[in-house]
């Protein structure tokens, strides 16, 4: 797989007028932030931009400037020349309605940092070493002299901050901090935006944490921890998808734990699995691929058929084999 260059992508963006920018279902800060960051840069160039996500805007990201322009598609087809996917490892994860909205686009651009991305665009920029799609957007904007408005500035920061665990994960580099410093020099109010990002959760999220802790299971050697969320609990608490964002770090942080796993029962009967590794020898992306998933070496996910118990047994067995091989 060979990437398109930033200059090739910039040429395509400058030569076209109308765009739809999409990100993955159940969007997180990197997904929404990357959409807003690139989209507003294009708007500053006089382009027409539609911001679309299959599941809409999460409540916890509604503080982001310009986020009110993000729409949840209902089956309409938008009159656009170019479709841009950001932070989405596979095309189907954009969602059926989002794909329908983009169906008139003649050119597809795919910008992502998931190493498992198969390069499904006409133009692709995949950097599995980048800490966030938002960081790729920042590098692109700086490299190609695209506008970096206050909207783009704040969106990039939230994108990168949330996908690096607030600059804690191993994917964070000196270059990541230099980006943050540059954004601060451009007027980013880091205390204010961090408070909105990390210190404003609904009470139901605390109730969710209490329920999850009651399901916590730790392996005998203490290297593997997991918890499970059944759909009846989601209904009882009135949860929204974003309520569980980042909670896996609670069990990932247990001393001695090398892999943390979150099993979740979805409304359609599928099981969603989120995995986090603290041991570089345990590549959870490789584990995810066994079950049709993907992601990063240290953070990956699966969506599969089965009961929560059967999926947990299968994934745990695969992880156990790798942990035992790296004892």
- Which ranges in the chain belong to alpha helices (H)? 6-15, 29-44, 96-101, 133-144, 150-163, 174-185, 190-198, 203-213, 231-237, 248-252, 284-290, 308-325
Digits of tens for pLDDT over the chain (327 positions)? 679 999 999 999 999 999 999 999 999 999 999 999 999 999 999 999 999 999 999 999 999 999 999 999 999 999 999 999 999 999 999 999 999 999 999 999 999 999 889 999 999 999 999 999 999 999 999 999 999 999 999 999 999 999 999 999 889 999 999 999 999 999 999 999 999 999 999 999 999 999 999 999 999 999 999 999 999 999 999 999 899 999 999 999 999 999 999 999 999 889 999 999 999 999 999 999 999 998 889 999 999 999 999 999 999 999 999 999 998
Give the residue among 315, 188, 306, 245 at the shortest CA–CA distance from 55.
245
The reported pTM is 0.90
Q: What is the pLDDT of residues 1-56, one digit of tens each?
A: 679 999 999 999 999 999 999 999 999 999 999 999 999 999 999 999 999 999 99
* Yes or no: domain 203-325 corresponds to CATH 3.30.1120.130: no
Q: Is 104 exposed, middle or buried (0-12, 13-18, 19+ CB in 10 A)?
A: middle
φ, ψ of residue 200 to 5 degrees: the values are -145, 65
Give the residue among 68, 61, 243, 247 at the shortest CA–CA distance from 158.
61
Residues composing the chain: 327
Which residues, 6 or more positions from 52, have their beta carbon under 8 angstroms from its beta carbon? 20, 21, 22, 70, 71, 72, 73, 78, 98, 101, 102
Buried-state track 286-308, b at ≥16 Cβ within 10 A, e below 16: ebbeebebbbbbbbbbbbbeeeb
pLDDT at 1: 60
CATH fold, domain 6-198, is inorganic pyrophosphatase (n-terminal core) (3.90.1640)
- What is the Cα–Cα distance from 31 to 101, expressed in whole angstroms? 18
What strands lie across the sheet with 107-112, from one edge to the other? 70-71, 48-52, 18-22, 82-86, 107-112, 123-126
Radius of gyration of the chain (CA): 19
CA 316 from centre of chain: 24
- What is the Cα–Cα distance from 3 to 9, expressed in whole angstroms? 10
- What is the Cα–Cα distance from 55 to 263, expressed in whole angstroms? 20
Query: Where exactly are the structural domains of the chain?
Result: 6-198, 203-325
């Amino acid at each position: 797989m060979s990437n398109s260059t930033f200059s090739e992508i910039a040429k395509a963006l400058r030569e076209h007028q109308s765009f739809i920018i999409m990100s993955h279902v159940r969007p997180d800060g990197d997904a929404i932030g990357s959409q807003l960051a690139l989209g507003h840069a294009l708007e500053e160039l006089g382009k027409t931009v539609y911001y679309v996500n299959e599941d809409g805007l999460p409540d916890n990201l509604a503080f982001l400037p310009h986020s009110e322009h993000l729409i949840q598609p209902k089956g309409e087809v938008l009159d656009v020349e170019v479709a841009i996917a950001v932070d989405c490892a596979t095309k189907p994860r954009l969602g059926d309605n989002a794909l329908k909205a983009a169906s008139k686009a003649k050119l597809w651009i795919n910008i992502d940092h998931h190493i498992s991305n198969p390069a499904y665009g006409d133009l692709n920029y995949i950097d599995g070493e980048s800490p966030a799609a938002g960081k790729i957007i920042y590098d692109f904007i700086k490299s190609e002299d695209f506008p970096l408005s206050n909207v783009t500035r704040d969106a990039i920061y939230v994108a990168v901050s949330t996908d690096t665990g607030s600059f804690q994960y191993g994917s964070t580099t000196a270059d990541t901090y230099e980006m943050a410093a540059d954004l601060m020099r451009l007027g980013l109010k880091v205390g204010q935006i961090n408070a909105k990002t990390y210190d404003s959760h609904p009470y139901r999220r605390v109730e969710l944490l209490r329920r999850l802790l009651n399901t916590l299971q730790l392996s005998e050697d203490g290297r593997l921890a997991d918890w499970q969320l059944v759909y009846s609990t989601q209904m009882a608490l009135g949860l929204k998808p974003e309520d569980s964002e980042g909670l896996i770090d609670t069990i990932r942080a247990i001393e001695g734990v090398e892999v943390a796993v979150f099993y979740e029962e979805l409304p359609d009967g599928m099981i969603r699995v989120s995995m986090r590794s603290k041991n570089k020898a345990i590549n959870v992306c490789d584990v995810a691929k066994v079950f049709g998933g993907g992601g990063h070496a240290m953070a990956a996910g699966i969506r599969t058929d089965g009961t929560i118990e059967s999926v947990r047994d299968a994934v745990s067995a695969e992880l156990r084999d790798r942990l035992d091989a790296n004892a």
